[in-house]
Structure formats: structure tokens, C-alpha cells
Amino acid sequence: MSLSVLRIGPACTIQDQGRTGYLDQGLSRSGAADITALHEGAALLAQSPDLAALEMAGMGGEFEATLGTDIALTGAPMQASIDGSPAMWNASHRLEPGQRLSIGAATQGTYGYLHLSGGIDTPLFLGSRAAHLTAKVGRAVQAGDQLPAKGGAGRAGMKLRPDDRFSGGRLRVLASFQTSLFDQDTLDRFALTSFQRGARANRMGMQLESAGEGFAANGQLNILSEVITPGDIQMTGTGNPFILLPECQTTGGYPRIATVLPCDIARAAQTPAGGEIRFEFVSLEEAITLHAAYLADLERLPGRVEPMIRDPRDIPDLLSYQLIGGVISATE
């Protein structure tokens, strides 16, 4: 079973959780910019979060089902419809043969995801189906392509309330190997500054802008290139921070002031242009606790899925809902 791609926006790629173990060969992980969205789609369709989905950067497209299949829509909310009828986001739906799914622009955030029952079944490369455009691994999906799926039981008619991670906000960060190169006044100012996501952003990284002077490390022109990973915050020569994302390079010589915790990278990647970001330093012990809580939340996602339409007889707390929004009179 598959979906035919009739129309699609730029920079839409197949992504899973990426490939690990190749940093020493110059290949970074790639994978979904919002890993949480992969887990949400998996929970909606009752399948593995390791399966591949279509990542849509800011804009979706139009697709036609060649065979019946279940789909899920997660990540940055986008305008969606099936044969012209609105389709709920953060939900799973049934597509019958010949039906058309239309996905428009993001109304919040940046990256939306289209999941197919059984996962998108493109060829594996080094253990992953993730495209890595900067490394020339795979390519962007184009009109005329087919999105093949393994199929399976699937599960339509389900919904899931996501966390609020599509408008920026606070990012927890950990001191990196080079944090000590920045004096304490600079670190304090960094933590107190309100940043906005700039126009320069892609799957490699995103530039941040702020009022006032930039941020510089002591002796930063003498820093040797070192291993870098997604979440690292590099300071360029202009003093503007860049948060590195899944397709970042594997080494770099710009000083790194801190590293965004893995549990907050999705929030960083989903910040829309102009969205506000602030940073909060946490200790290593706090980071470990926060990451463990994040992993536990991912494990609990399947238990948060519920039918779009619920039978009142199956709602144990029915009396806690406000079922009447006002009072009327039958005679007045």
C-alpha cells in the first residue's frame, strides 16, 4: 500500500530516529527534528516509534491513497482535510483507495509529520531510512513519488493531546566542555537574554537573535575543532548563537556556550520564526532526572490515546464535565 504524492512543499523528507555510530566518519545522526512527534504517531497507530514518517517543513502537500490505509498526523499543527472535509490534527484517520489527503501550512511550530500504518518502507541505509540532505543521503520527496508502507492493522479514529512545544519558550541547557571559556558575566547575560529565532534555520541549525551586544568566549580564535552534537549552542563570529539540529556537522571550531537537553530539542526545532527562546542552566544531576522523566513520558503516550468520539457510558468521570453551558426557559 502507498500514497501517491500529487503536490508537496519544499524540504519534506523521510525521517525516523536517525542513524548512530558514524560520527567518526563524518556522518551525524539526522532523523526527525521532533522525535516526540514520532512517538505520538506511533501511539496513535499502535506501532513502533522506530518506523519512518514524512517530515514536512512548514508546508505539507496533497496525497492520494492507492490502497486503504490508516494514517496519523502529528507535530506542528497544519491545516488538513480528506476529500475536502477537515481532518483533526494529532489524530489517526482512515484513507480509502482514491481518497485525497491535503495538508497545508503550519499554523504553529515548524515540522509536521505524516505517519502511515506500518511505517514508510523506503530502503535502509546504514540502518536508517532518514534522509540527510547535507550529507547527500536520500533526497527531498517530490511530486510523483510514492510513499510505500508496510501496512498492518493500524488504528483510525484516535486522538492525542500533545504537549505545548510549538511556540518557543524555555530551553534547559547543560554546561559543555567550552562553557568555561565564557566569563561569568557573559554566562549570566546569556541566561537573562530573551532570544528570537531568526530567519536562518534548517535541519542543520537555527540562528538566534537578540538586542544588545553579542556573546564571545575568551580566546575563541584559538579554539581547535572538536566533536559536536545536536543541541550544542555555537557562538559565531558575530556573537549570534546557533542551536545545532539533527543534520549538524560532526566537528566545529566555534565556541559552544552550552548544550540543549535532548528533552528540549523538539521545542527548539519547533520554534517558529520570531518565536521567543530563553535558556536555563541546569546541573548534570537535574539533566539526568529531566531526561529520565522525558523517556518515561514517551513510554506513557499509548495510555493517553483516546477515541475521537467517546461513549458516555465509558467515561467514568462523566459527572465532572460541564455538560450544560447555560440555562434556558421553555416558556420565556
What mean pLDDT do residues 68-92 have? Answer: 95
How many CB atoms sit inside 10 A of residue 211's CB? Answer: 8
Q: What pLDDT score was predicted for residue 321?
A: 45
Q: Where are the domains of the chain?
A: 2-159, 169-282
- 100 or 155: which leads in pLDDT: 100
User: How does DSSP assign 34-79, residue by residue?
Assistant: -HHHHHHHHHHHTS-TTS-EEEEESB-EEEEESS-EEEEEEES-EE
Across-strand partners of 256? Answer: 234
Q: What pLDDT score was predicted for residue 301?
A: 94
Domain 169-282 has CATH 1.10.620.20: no
Across-strand partners of 244? Answer: 205
> Measured between alpha carbons, how far is 60 from 272 in angstroms, rounded to an integer?
16
254 has a pLDDT exceeding 50: yes
What pTM was estimated for this model as a whole?
A: 0.88
Q: What pLDDT score was predicted for residue 138?
A: 87
| Band of pLDDT at residue 63, cut at 50, 70 and 90 | very high
Percent of the chain scoring above 70 in pLDDT: 90
What mean pLDDT do residues 71-81 have? Answer: 96
Summarised one tens digit per residue, pLDDT across range 291-329 is 999 999 999 999 999 998 754 554 555 554 445 554 455
Of 63-72, 157-166, 220-229, minimum mean pLDDT range:
220-229
